């Protein structure tokens, strides 16, 4: 099951980061998945069982699905094809093999819960430039 492996990899990455930051719990995980990955439903399905016993257990998984767009060299424009596997320009009908968006698999933010120490700082959404590793543009 490729989707279970992906869910476990995501959870391991987030769990390691939470441990490094001294957090006992992860509240929310933000991910960007391209439409071509076809993993959105499967990742939602596997996330609960894969996160059991980790700091991610009970966390919300927030997936932003990135639409498929292709570059038409004939029209010299970026277009949304008429279907997921139709790589032809919807206007001129020419082949458009250059995918611009739709293949993404990115961990974009992690919201941590309470810290392990006695600190009382509120949990914050950590974007890529604020949290250091893992890189926000790193592929899962």
Domains of the chain as residue ranges with CATH: 2-65+104-131 (3.30.2320.50), 68-101 (no CATH)
Inter-axis angle of helices 40-51 and 2-21, to 10 degrees? Answer: 50
**Rounded to whole angstroms, how far apart are CA atoms 122 and 34?**
32
| DSSP structure class, residue 115 | B
Contact in structure between 90 and 75 (CB atoms under 8 Å): no
Lowest-confidence segment of 58-72, 76-90, 124-138 by average pLDDT: 124-138
Residue 137: per-residue pLDDT: 42
Mean pLDDT of 67-95: 91
Classified as helix, coil or strand, 31 is strand
**Rounded to whole angstroms, how far apart are CA atoms 94 and 91?**
8
Residue 1: per-residue pLDDT: 52
Element (H, E) at 21: helix 2-21
Residue 136, pLDDT > 90, answer no
Residue 96: per-residue pLDDT: 92
pTM of the full structure = 0.73
Contact in structure between 103 and 34 (CB atoms under 8 Å): yes
Q: Among 11, 40, 19, 21, which Cα is nearest to 121's? A: 21
Max Cα separation, the chain? Answer: 63
Residue 128, pLDDT > 50, answer no
Q: Pairing mode, if any, of strands 98-101 and 26-34? A: unpaired
Residue 116, pLDDT > 80, answer no
């Amino acid at each position: 099951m490729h989707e279970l492996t992906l869910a476990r990899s995501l959870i391991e990455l987030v769990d390691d980061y939470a441990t490094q930051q001294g957090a006992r719990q992860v509240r929310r995980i933000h991910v960007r998945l391209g439409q071509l990955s076809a993993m959105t439903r499967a990742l939602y399905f596997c996330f609960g069982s894969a996160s059991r016993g980790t700091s991610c257990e009970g966390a919300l998984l927030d997936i932003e699905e990135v639409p498929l767009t292709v570059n038409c060299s004939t029209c010299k424009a970026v277009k949304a094809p008429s279907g997921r596997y139709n790589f032809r320009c919807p206007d001129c009908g020419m082949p458009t093999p250059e995918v611009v968006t739709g293949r993404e698999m990115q961990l974009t933010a992690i919201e941590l819960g309470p810290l392990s120490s006695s600190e009382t700082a509120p949990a914050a959404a950590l974007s890529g430039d604020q949290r250091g590793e893992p890189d926000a543009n790193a592929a899962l």
